[in-house]
Structures are given as structure tokens and as C-alpha cells.
Amino acid sequence: MIRIFGYIVVSFLWLEAVYHVAIFGLNGVQPLLMLAFAIFVAGVETIFVRLTKKRGVNLGFLWGVQGLNFFLFVVQLVYYKIFTRPLMLEVAFVTGGDALTDFAGVALDGIKNSIVPILLMALPLIVMAVLLKKKILLLEQNTKKEWLGNGGIIVAGLLSVCLLLVGAYHSEDEFYGEYQEFYAPDEIVQEYGVLPLYARQLMFDLLPEKATEVWQGGIPVVEATESVEPSGTEMGTEVEEPEIETGPVIDTSPNVLNIDFDALKANGDGNIDWLADVMQNMSPSKKNEYTGMMKGYNLIYITAEAFSPYAVSEELTPTLYKMINSGVVVKDYYIPLWNTSTSDGEYVNLMGQIPDGTHSFRRTQYNTYPYSLPAYFEAEGAKSYAYHNNSLSYYDRYITHPNLGFDFKAALRGSLSLEAWGHKIFQMNDPKAWPSSDYDMMVGTVPEWIDDERFFAYYMTLSGHTNYTWAGNQMARKNQELVSHLPYSEQMKAYIACNYEVERALTYIVEQLTAAGKLDTTLIVLSADHHPYGMKNVKSEMEAFNGTTMTNLDVQRNCLVMWNSQMEPVVVEKTCSALDILPTIMNLFGFEYDSRLFAGRDMLSDSPSLVVFSNRSFITDSVIYDASTNTITPRTETAVSGDYIEAMKAYVKTMFQYSAGILNHGFDEAVGEVVIEKPKQSIDKTFFQKPFKEIYVYE
């Protein structure tokens, strides 16, 4: 028994070591939690491989558990190589089937790029075969004494895990918060290993949350410590007051709704009470000179797959270049990478909230959203459309997007039946291409809304999806000649080539709007779901392109399109992120909304800068805090105190919890029920309260 147990423990440690070096290099790791879980799991597996009197059955169990261990680590390795994120169990269970069909080529490429560590991970299987042949590993049934010993090992492993967590809880060690709160699975797998990552997902609600005092109020700010005299004056000198030109009075009242917080708390739900307390004490953003600037306009909103500034140039993409550098010009813009990359990117863009771990968008199907963008447009008599040039079923968009109020269509059915869902397929040229063309999607869908008196059209594109090779991306191959002269790597040129479809798509939209006489009354917004993390060595590629050294946060800098043909350029100097898009649109369109319902803030308001990342790093007007390295980089000459950093950490943590609460407890709906005048909601709430299987049946 001891030999089997020892072999399994050593094989786990070998798998952990190969994974860690292959993904993170020789950076250090904290091994205690990994070892404790290895002891526990190895004890359980040892029971199975010596369970019966039949050696053949026990041998099958041994190969089964070791094959499973190998598979679980290889899957994590390949997934991280492709997506630069650990695989979450929910992602595997929810979208695994679609991913196998839609991204098979990407997966094969990931396996090819991981072949050496995969072979190294297979080494324990080879060693096991040798040890079995030499009869060093024995498969006889456990004796009573061995059963007791095995049980003791399992208990010892479990106690070790508990002692580590309990000790960290009571010592207020940051490790407990990092592991328990589960905001950063990428850091968990880097710091503690693959086994602790899997274990954390399986015991999601078993650990108590470390009690902390959450932040109440607005974003903390650093106060200047020294007064500065106006230039050109001396102390005691009278300064002539300049004449102030009077103009129209600008409404700077807060963007809030008439919420009866007492009624909101009267439902007796402690979670709603907590959320209401946070909301009531938050500092709302204010109306400004841009409030209602686009009132009554049309909206075209695009989430562009893996888009970034590296795909834009004045020479090759003049439409994109013009839109990014006119309209609302945000000089310091970020699109953080979240756990469920594309789906979370869409969630941020359309909901203005921080995603909660995994598949936040999918979970919106169980709530109603009286303050969604489609609800506001419907209240003003306009229809909202949504399109994607891939499958209806992927990420459950065929449920989530209609639940927000969109008429959603896609180019393919995915796992849905033709009879039930054929009417939700739009026609386009070669929809099965990988990836398919964003331009062709526009050609196939723009006629559906261009003649409406007023419209809101939302798009999730695909052309910019990895792989960035001529063989692995049909759009890159299609536009290869256009980029052949560029002085970049083959991978970067392939990336630029496939994103040329976005340029063609926007140019077509502008042409169609112009022909319909609607260009001047349409706002076009484009933001990515995430940076092109699918590039091999993406940080090195970006550094070579820019000629500068970049941090992990720098990699997530991006660009934004928020453009109307008639508006003068509005330059935004403060640091913003995709979380800020939705409240900015709300303000521009003059919608009556409550800015406290969103994690982001109107970019055009006087709210201070704040960008948050998945591991709770943050950027403010004063500092850049990188949680992965625990480094603080000042952005001004004003001294930043430790108290300010701690206050910011508390505020960011509160915003994560607040966003999660809004999603998980239907707070958006609860607020809507106590507001006197609220936008209409087109979705039948009772329909989405039915069990999932009663609504949709897969083939």
C-alpha cells in the first residue's frame, strides 16, 4: 500500500512541477497546500487500486486513476497555452461540447505547442509500467491493517488542508483571502498548483469568508500635501480676476434614480440589505455637458474579438484609425482579461459590472434587467438587434441576449435544432469558415435594421480569433497580401490581416448609414472583449511592436471607438476601462439611470480614474498597483500613503462583491421594483424563472 501511495504522491508532484515550469518558468511556488492535497487525493486513489481480490480489476483502477490524473493536468496545460488562463470546471462542463467543435483547430495547435511538457507528464505512466513489470508496485487487496493506514493517510491529508486554511484565517494571512475569495484562479494555480485549483472549485461554498470591513463611499483619492501658488504671482500680490463669460447652465446633478431604500430593504433578504447599504453610500457620477448629447440617436455597438491597437494604422485601416482618433478619444484605455475571456468581455461591455468568477453572462438568464440598454431603447420605441457570426448555442447567447431584450441571431445553430431555431439564423457567405468574416456578417444583417426609424444593433465579431497563422485563420489567409510588406513577425502580420475584416465591416456600415441618411444620427461604439492573448508570447510580440518594455498590466491597454460623424473630438485624459462604456452611453443618450448600479463610471464625468483587473490590481489617478507582484508605482509627485493603498484595496474588493451581488441576487431587478418610474421590460419574467430543461431542449 505504501508503495502505491508514495508513487501516486510523487507522480502528482512531478505533474505539478512540469506544469509550473512549462507555464510560469522557474518562478517560486508555495508547496504546502499542494502537498496536503496530493496526500489526500493519493490516499483516496490508493483505496481504489487495492480495492478487490482480483488483480486485473485493481490494475484497471490503477491505470484509470493515473490516466485521469494525466488527463486533468494535460487539459490545464493545453488550455493555459491557448488562452493564458486556467481552465475552470464550469467552463468545461458548460461549453466543452461547443468548444470541441468550434475550436478544434485551436486545440490541436495548443497540443502541438505543448508536446514536450505533455511527453514529460506521461513519464509517470511509463515509470508505473516498469514498476508493475518488476513487481515493485503490488496490487493485492488491502489487509485490515492497510485499510486503517490508508484511512489515516486520508485523514492526515484532509487535516493538513484544514489546518493550513484555519491557520491562515486566524492569522489574517493574505493567502486565505486570495484562496477563499477565488477572484484570481490564475494566481491560485501559479502560487499553489493545479490540485489546489481543482479543489477550490469543488468546495466553492464550504469555506467561510474572511470578515472584513467593506468600503463605504466613493473612490478614495489622494489629497495634495502642498499648496501651489499660481505661476507669475508672489505672496501678497493681488490678482486681477478675469471676466467670466456666462453661458448655458450645465446640469451637474447626480445620475441617480428615485430609489426608496427602505422599501428595498423591507423584503427581508440580508443580501439585498447589504447591497442597498453599499449603493446608498456610493458616490454617483454627475451629469455633465455631454448628458443627452446623443438623445434620440441610433446606436451600433460592437464587441470585437481580440481587437487591439496593433490592428490599426492610418495606411491600412483608415476608417478605424479615424474613429479611434476622433469622437470620444480615450488616451489611456484598458480592457482587462477576465476568467471567461470572451463571455466575460461581453458581460463587462453590456452590463457595466465586474464578472463573478466564471460564466457571469450565462447566469444572467435567470434575472430580469429593467435597466439594460435594450430596455431603454424599447421604452423610446426602438428595437434592439444582436448578431454573432458563429453559433447560436455557444455561451447560451440564444437565451442570455434575448433576456436582455435583443432579437438575437447567429450564423450557425450550434447544438440547436433546425426546426425550432432555423428562423434565428442569418444568411452570410461561408459561415463555417474559421473564423468567419465580420464583413460578411454585416452584409447579411445590416438590411434587417437599416430602414427602421430608430434602432440599436449589437455585434459580437469573430474574425480576430486565434490562431494567428496563415493556415489556422482563414481571414488572415484571405488578407495576407495586404500585410506582406509590414516589418513585423509572421504572427503579428496574420493578426493584423484577420482584423482587416473589422475595417471592412465598419467601412460597410458607414456606407450603408450614409446611403440611408442616418450616419449623422448614429453613435458607433467598438471595444474588444480582451487583448489578443492567443498570440504565442503575446507580451514579447507587443514589446517588439512598440519598442518598449511592458508590464502584465500594460499588455491589457487597448483602444476604444465611440464615434459620431458630427461631433467634435472629445479628449478624455483620465484612465478608463471597458467597465465605463455602458454608463457613458447611458449619459450620452440622456437615459435616466442610477450610476451607482454599475462598477464603471461615465468617462465624461468628473469621477476619478479607476481601472480594476481580475486579480484586483488597480490603476487610479495616483498609483498603479500590481497585485501579482505586490508593487506600487506612483503616477504623480504627490506622496501616496499606505492607508490610501489599503483604502483602495477595500474599495476594489467591495466593488467585486457588489457586482457579484447584483448578478447573484437579482439586485438590478429589485431596484427596478421600488423605483416609481422605470423603463419598460419586454421579457416575460415568469418565462425565465422556469427550470432550464422546461424552456429549451437540445438535440
The CATH number that applies at residue 525 is: 3.40.720.10
Residues 543, 424 share a domain: yes
What is the chain's percent helix, strand, coil content, to nearest 5?
50, 10, 40
Omega before 389 cis (within 30°)? Answer: no
Instruction: Name the average pLDDT for the chain.
Output: 84
3-state secondary structure of 457: strand
CB 309 within 8 A of CB 528: no
Q: DSSP 3-state assignment of 94? A: helix
Residues 370 and 488 in one domain: yes
Computed on alpha carbons and rounded to an integer, the radius of gyration of the chain in Å comes to 27
Asked if residue 353 belongs to a domain, the reply is yes
**Confidence check: pLDDT of 694 > 50:** no
- Round to whole Å and give the CA distance between 585 and 602: 8
Examine the domain organization and report whether 46 and 185 are in the same domain: yes
Calculate mean pLDDT across residues 617-646: 90
Q: Output 176 or 601, whichever has higher pLDDT.
A: 601
Same domain, 315 and 195: no
| CA–CA dist 75, 644 (Å, integer) | 41
Q: Tell me, what's the pLDDT at 326?
A: 94
pLDDT tens track for 16-45: 999 999 988 877 777 887 888 888 888 888
C-alpha cell, 422: 432555423
Residue 256 burial class via C-beta count within 10 angstroms: exposed 0-12, middle 13-18, buried 19 and up: middle
In the predicted model, is pLDDT for residue 337 greater than 70?
Answer: yes
Among the candidates 146, 178, 202, a domain finishes at: 202
User: Which of 186, 202, 218 marks a domain boundary?
Assistant: 202
Measured over the CA atoms of residue 251, residue 253, residue 255 and residue 260, the dihedral's sign is negative
Residue 99's pLDDT is 52
**Is position 619 within any domain?**
no
Give pTM, 2 decimals: 0.83
Which of 168, 202, 236 is the last residue in one of the domains? 202
Least confident of 189-193, 335-339, 503-507, 662-666: 189-193
Render pLDDT for 60-94 as a digit per residue (tens, 0 to 9).
888 888 999 999 999 899 888 877 778 877 666 65
- Exposed, middle or buried by CB within 10 Å (0-12, 13-18, 19+), for 369? buried
Please list, in sequence order, all residues whose beta carbon lies within 8 angstroms of the beta carbon of residue 452, skipping any fewer than 6 positions away: 382, 383
What confidence tier does 412 reach under pLDDT thresholds 50, 70, 90? Answer: very high
Range of the domain at 23: 2-202
pLDDT at position 43 is 82
Residues 186 and 317 in one domain: no
In this structure, the strands spanning 328-334 and 631-634 are: unpaired
In a domain, 93, yes or no: yes
In a domain, 653, yes or no: no
Question: What pLDDT score was predicted for residue 190?
Answer: 82
Is residue 95 scored above 80 in pLDDT? Answer: no
Backbone angles phi, psi at 50, to 5 degrees: -135, 40
Sign of CA dihedral 178, 180, 186, 187: positive
Burial (0-12, 13-18, 19+ Cβ within 10 Å), 463: buried
Mean pLDDT value of segment 370-387: 97
Number of domains in the chain: 2
Please state which of the ranges 81-95, 99-113, 127-141, 246-260 shows the lowest mean pLDDT.
99-113
Burial 381-406 (b: 16+ CB within 10 A, else e): ebbbbbbbbbbbbbbbbbbbbbbbbb
Give the neighbor-by-neighbor strand order of the sheet with 328-334: 557-558, 328-334, 570-577
Cβ pair 600, 612 in contact under 8 A: no
Residue 184 pLDDT > 80: no
Task: Report whether pLDDT(435) > 90.
Answer: yes
Please tell me the distance from the alpha carbon of residue 68 to that of residue 121, in angstroms, as a whole number: 12
